[in-house]
Amino acid sequence: MPDIREFIDASVTYARREVQRLRAVVAALAVLLVGACVAAFFAFTGQVEAERQTRVAEDERKSATEKLAQAQIAESRVLAERAAALFKNLFVVIRRIFPGFSGAPRAWRGSR
């Protein structure tokens, strides 16, 4: 009978150790699961923030492009006005030097 008792005690001890190992594995998996969930949360929030920053940067780029175009148009107008004033002054000077100068060659004025 002592052999059966020793066998039963050894079986119970083995079963307890097996349960402890399974509990340890389940606990480790639970910790890994929680870690994965936390990492997924931070990855998701990081992605959302990155997408928001991308939209903001794109909006700012569009705004800057529009402002640049408007500034270039304004500068073109100013330069055109200056060029027109310079040509007007040039023709005034030329007419003073050459009183008969009409401003354009006869071939350009067409037939009259």
User: What does the pLDDT look like over 60-74, one tens digit per residue?
Assistant: 999 999 999 999 999
The amino acid present at 90, given as its one-letter code, is L
User: Is the pTM higher than 0.75?
Assistant: no
- Close Cβ partners of 57 (under 8 Å, ≥ 6 residues apart): none
Residue 101 confidence (pLDDT) above 70: yes
Q: What pLDDT is recorded for position 95?
A: 83
CA 73, 77, 82, 83 dihedral sign is: positive
DSSP 98: S
Give the distance, in angstroms, between the CA of residue 13 and the centroid of all CA atoms in the same chain. 62
Encoding tokens for residue 107?
């071939």
DSSP 110: -
DSSP 102: -
Encoding tokens for residue 84?
């027109």
Under 8 Å between Cβ of 67 and 73? no
Q: What pLDDT is recorded for position 1?
A: 66
